[in-house]
């Protein structure tokens, strides 16, 4: 169905204007996620006590309407825009609304020392902020504190070169068959893989430090056609006649992936170099770790396009620019997932529902020191002497059929196991074991031996499509629940990696992680005139629910021991706290549906993901529907701990989870290798097997 030009321009305007209400802006100012709604202002929503929010919260802080997403802006919004959405000393010191208090005093940073990504001081974390854009919302009894009590912890350098690191650059773009850009099919959803040889990099090893997406049509926060982009490194060069051209294409609603050109190099493209979706950083790293780049001779551009108006004769040269160094950092960065809800699993989101949730739990079993549980946990407790299995043993037991695609079992994606454990070798110089991973290259020297514990969390990222509206991740340890980078407001065009590096958060055996995605089908999202329930799947207007985590060191990780845990779906009332579902409060009663993972080999209406598959495989679990039980009922939030107090400064190298309560817990990663997750992240990477 074609969209009229009036719709296209309307959608473009919505995308542009909505930039002003991006949820990520709340992370760019002190206490941006918990500013009370001023008297007489519209657009307020119920706060979530688990996130430290007041009863009524203003999410669109810079807007005249607290809902945000439209003009006009309030005086603080004008000032924030003029400061390029950065918390500068000048923005902090000005009194935008003329109420006698500076913006910093109203937001809890009176001495203007707060930094994005840093652990805030106890003063900043516990103060009740007031709105810096409305003069009728201010503390009449305000007392200026001593600046020594407002100092935050230092913020590490994120995705930046260190002074001693040599800086190098690699740029790639999609050329297409004619060399002047890939011509988009007149299809609503297109996945395409384009192979491109590169010269001059060398074998490495290197560490990737940063990157940026190159968007031809639109911008990185408002792309016209580009839905997401995954760049994979390959160990072989493509045939000259295939260089720069599309190797395969997939239209999810029309059938299997179509192979356009056969090339043996395609099978070696298993190492993710960068990934992007609107608003997301291509790469996020920290001084302790970088993303490994070893033996890359070509790249595979795995691109998802959305052609809203089914337009013809559109060519696009989208690409990435990567920044890397030969000066290796101490650790590799790796990636994992709590929940990979993206396939045609049968989940349906009913229309005209403002808060429909999808939630699932994961009980963590760490793989510290090259093990998958048992022995001593990250918390130092013994499991009674049960022998741990190695990563290689786990792969041999769980990964079926060699290159079976992204087979998920709990938290592990078996792309990592494609060449594991067959290719273990011994270094003749230092006698350490170096296992060939799924990139085809050896692990860097820093990870050739068993990794130390604990496992540190670097960031959390959520992915859904146009009607995703809220994201929650909660970890329960020892009977106490903690919030981990939850977002009361989420936007497809603002899929940020929530930076947790400075908090020194760790993963421990037995942590229970609850992931909840909330969807709003009461509106139309990006697609007008929806007439039926929205299904989970790979189409641009289908839905997904992914919670992804970056962690280090890269040889550590986790699996979900309760891979048979059900998925619950249901409705939340406007006043109910999404984070409370993490405690399982009345979950059987609250949910309207319950989905049980299908047994291995029993996945109707899907490819046989646990065995041999015919055609492209959605690579996630199948789900059998059962009734959740009783009719849904409302429940009252019950916070088991103060999630906004007790924060202490903790080094990422020495911090422990016991010293952290806010945004708390604990590194959650699943796979040990980059190739195993980032393709999953952006719902691309569909292999023909």
Express as a percent the part of the chain with pLDDT over 70.
68
pLDDT at 524: 55
From residue 91, how far is each of 58, 61, 109, 156 by CA, in Å? 20, 14, 11, 22
What distance in Å separates the CA atoms of residue 310 and residue 8, rounded to the nearest whole number?
Answer: 11
Topology of domain 168-329, CATH: Jelly Rolls (2.60.120)
pLDDT per residue as tens digits for the range 413-443 = 333 333 333 333 222 222 222 233 332 222 2
pTM (two decimals): 0.75
* Ranges of the chain with pLDDT below 70: 1-21, 342-346, 368-453, 524-528, 563, 582-586, 597-689
pLDDT at 368: 63
Asked if 142 and 102 count as a contact pair (C-beta separation under 8 A), the reply is no
Q: Which residue's entry shows tokens 């949910």? A: 591
The DSSP result for 427-438, as a single string, is -TTT--EEEB-T
Q: What backbone phi and psi angles, to 5 degrees, belong to 574?
A: -60, -30
What distance in Å separates the CA atoms of residue 442 and residue 332, rounded to the nearest whole number?
Answer: 12
Q: How many helices (H) does the chain have, and how many strands (E)?
A: 8, 36
pLDDT per residue as tens digits for the range 188-230 = 999 999 999 998 787 788 999 999 999 999 998 889 999 999 8
pLDDT at 109: 97
Identify the bridge partners of residue 518 per DSSP, sorted by sequence position.
357, 470
pLDDT at 14: 36
Where along the chain do its domains lie? 5-149, 168-329, 335-670
User: Which runs of E-coded beta strand occur in 156-256?
Assistant: 168-173, 182-183, 189-197, 206-214, 218-219, 222-223, 226-234, 246-250
pLDDT at 131: 97
> What per-residue string of b and e applies to 630-640 under the rule 16 or more CB within 10 Å gives b?
eebeebebeee
Q: Is 586 helix (H, G, I), strand (E, B) or coil?
A: coil
Cβ of 653: how many Cβ atoms within 10 Å? Answer: 11
């Amino acid at each position: 169905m074609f969209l009229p030009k009036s719709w296209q321009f309307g959608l473009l305007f919505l995308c542009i204007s909505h930039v002003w209400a991006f949820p990520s802006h709340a992370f760019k100012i002190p206490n941006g996620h918990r500013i009370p709604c001023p008297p007489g202002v519209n657009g307020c929503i119920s706060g979530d006590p688990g996130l430290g929010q007041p009863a009524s919260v203003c999410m669109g802080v810079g807007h005249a309407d607290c809902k945000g997403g439209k003009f006009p802006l309030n005086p603080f919004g004008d000032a924030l825009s003029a400061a390029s959405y950065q918390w500068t000393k000048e923005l902090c010191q000005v009194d935008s609304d003329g109420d006698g208090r500076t913006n910093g005093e109203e937001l809890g940073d009176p001495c203007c020392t707060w930094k994005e990504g840093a652990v805030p001081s106890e003063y900043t974390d516990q103060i009740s902020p007031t709105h810096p854009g409305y003069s009728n919302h201010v503390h009449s009894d305000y007392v200026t504190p001593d600046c020594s009590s407002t100092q935050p912890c230092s913020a590490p350098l994120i995705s930046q070169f260190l002074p001693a690191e040599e800086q190098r650059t690699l740029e790639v773009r999609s050329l297409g068959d004619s060399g002047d850009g890939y011509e988009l099919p007149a299809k609503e959803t297109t996945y395409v893989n384009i192979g491109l040889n590169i010269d001059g990099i060398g074998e490495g090893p290197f560490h990737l430090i940063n990157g940026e997406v190159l968007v031809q049509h639109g911008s990185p926060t408002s792309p016209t056609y580009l839905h997401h982009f995954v760049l994979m490194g390959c160990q072989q060069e493509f045939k000259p006649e295939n260089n720069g051209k599309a190797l395969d294409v997939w239209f999810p609603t029309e059938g299997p992936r179509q192979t356009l050109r056969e090339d043996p190099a395609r099978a070696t493209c298993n190492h993710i170099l960068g990934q992007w979706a609107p608003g997301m950083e291509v790469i996020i790293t920290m001084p302790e770790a970088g993303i490994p780049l070893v033996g890359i001779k070509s790249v595979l551009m795995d691109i998802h396009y959305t052609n809203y108006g089914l337009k013809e004769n559109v060519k696009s040269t989208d690409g990435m620019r990567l920044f890397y160094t030969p000066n290796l950092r101490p650790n590799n960065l790796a990636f994992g997932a709590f929940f990979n809800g993206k396939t045609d699993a049968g989940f349906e989101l009913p229309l005209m529902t403002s808060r429909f949730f999808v939630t699932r739990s994961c009980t963590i079993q760490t793989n510290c020191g090259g093990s998958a549980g048992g022995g001593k946990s990250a918390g130092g407790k013994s499991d009674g002497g049960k022998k741990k299995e190695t990563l290689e043993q786990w792969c041999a037991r769980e990964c079926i059929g060699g290159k079976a695609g992204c087979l998920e079992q709990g938290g592990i994606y078996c792309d990592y196991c494609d060449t594991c454990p067959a290719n273990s070798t011994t270094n003749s110089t230092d006698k350490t074991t170096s296992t060939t991973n799924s990139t085809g290259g050896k692990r860097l020297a820093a990870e050739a031996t068993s990794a130390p514990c604990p496992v540190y969390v670097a960031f959390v990222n959520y992915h859904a499509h146009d009607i995703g509206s809220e994201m929650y991740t909660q970890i329960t340890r020892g009977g106490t629940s903690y919030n981990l980078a939850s977002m009361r407001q989420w936007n497809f065009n603002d899929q940020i990696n929530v930076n947790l590096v400075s908090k020194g958060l760790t993963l421990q055996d037995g942590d229970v992680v609850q992931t909840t995605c909330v969807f709003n089908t009461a509106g139309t999202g990006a697609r007008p005139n929806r007439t039926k329930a929205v299904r989970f799947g790979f189409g641009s207007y289908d839905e997904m629910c992914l919670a992804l985590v970056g962690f280090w060191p890269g040889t550590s990780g986790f699996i979900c021991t309760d891979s048979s845990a059900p998925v619950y779906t249901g409705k939340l009332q406007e006043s109910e706290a999404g984070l409370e579902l993490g405690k399982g409060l009345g979950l059987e009663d609250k949910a309207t549906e319950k989905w049980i993972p299908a047994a291995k080999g029993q996945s109707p209406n899907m490819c046989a993901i646990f065995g041999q598959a015919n055609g492209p495989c959605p690579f996630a679990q199948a789900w059998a529907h059962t009734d959740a039980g009783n009719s849904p009922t409302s429940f009252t939030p019950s916070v088991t701990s103060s999630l906004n107090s007790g924060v202490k400064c903790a080094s990422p190298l020495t911090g422990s989870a016991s010293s952290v309560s806010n945004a708390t817990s604990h590194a959650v990663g699943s796979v040990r290798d980059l190739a195993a997750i980032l393709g999953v992240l952006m719902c691309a990477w569909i292999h023909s097997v």
